[in-house]
Copies of this chain bind each other. A is one copy, B any other.
Amino acid sequence: MPRGEAPPEPRVPPQTVEEFRDRLHALNGQLPRRLQQCADHVATHLDRIALSTVAQVAQGAGVPPSAVMRFCQIMGFTGYAEMQRLFRKALSHAAPDYATRLANLKAGGVGQPATLVAEFVEAGRQSIEALARDLNETALNQAVTTLAQARTIHLAGFRRSFPVASYLAYVFDKLGVPAVLHDGVAGLGHRSTLQPGDALLAITFAPYSEETLALVAQARDRGLPVVALTDPPASQLAGVADTILTVTEIDFGAFRSLSAVIALALALAVAVAARRET
């Protein structure tokens, strides 16, 4: 082993998954080939560790099991077992008895109110996880840029998209971002308010509502940028919107929980507000 400068090879193992990630990141680039392979594979499959054996991780990384063992020790653990303990604890704490509780709610029987709650909870959770999985970061960044540059943001969303649009109006107001909610009250649109320098944020799901499509077309005619928040496939909007953000919302029965759309919309709003302040 080298004499003078000892690389910070810690004797205390990471206590949380966060710490683990940090240490992994710090080590990146200064590892021998096989250990780097381990690091790469582990980084992209963090969740598998809790349920995999050394041999499986090794095969996944394309290295012999002994390399995985050395990797564990580099990370500060005494061995694979200790490392796995960390991830198992994280996994079991993540869902303490959520699954059981859900099953109990459902056990009441179809049609029972509690069962319905369980179904919508399940749909909401799946939608939200799908959002995290499928988020298009490029489109999101582009949307933020577009909206941050706009003088006024116009919000379009009718029928089941209306709650989202109205919540955005509330949030933008709180954040001090000029936004107009096109709510169709009194049968008149605010179409004349679409002015140069503005942008349109349209929230709409198939089948797209007439009003929203009309507003999008109008904005397009006047040369305003259009950001669409919709569900895949966004076929009809592909030609007319500059930026398309898609969200897969799982629905139970005929109705959607809107969880994923709202989460995305909120993040978008906060990011836009932050960008405008700088």
Contact = CB atoms under 8 A, between A and B. Distances in A.
B170 A166 contact: no
Contacts of A194: none
Contact of A170 (B17, B116, B160, B260): B160
A124 B128 contact: yes
Contacts of A108: 137
A171 to B, nearest CB: 6
Contacts of A98: 47, 129, 132-133
Interface residues of A, number: 77
A45 interface: yes
A111 B277 CA distance: 12
A183 to B, nearest CB: 9
23 contacts: A47-B97, A94-B99, A95-B129, A98-B129, A105-B137, A112-B271, A113-B144, A114-B141, A117-B263, A118-B132, A119-B267, A120-B263, A120-B267, A121-B132, A162-B170, A163-B167, A174-B254, A174-B255, A255-B269, A255-B270, A258-B258, A258-B262, A262-B262
Interface of A: 17, 21, 25, 44-48, 50-51, 88, 91-92, 94-103, 105, 107-108, 111-114, 116-121, 123-125, 128-129, 131-133, 135, 137, 140-141, 144, 159-160, 162-164, 166-167, 170-171, 174, 185, 253-255, 257-260, 262-264, 266-271, 274
Nearest to A20: B103
A269 B163 CA distance: 16
A266 B132 contact: no
Given A51-B88, A263-B124, A114 B95 contact: no
A8 to B, nearest CB: 21
Contacts of A114: 135, 137, 140-141
Instruction: Describe A's contact surface by its main secondary structure.
Output: helix
Closest A-B pairs by Cβ, 7 of them: A163-B163, A116-B267, A259-B259, A163-B167, A113-B271, A120-B263, A117-B267
Tally of this chain's copies:
2
Nearest to A44: B100
Contact of A141 (B25, B113, B140): B113
Contact of A50 (B46, B51, B160): B51
Nearest to A136: B114
Given A111-B274, A270-B255, A117 B88 contact: no
A171 B121 CA distance: 17
A46 B44 CA distance: 28
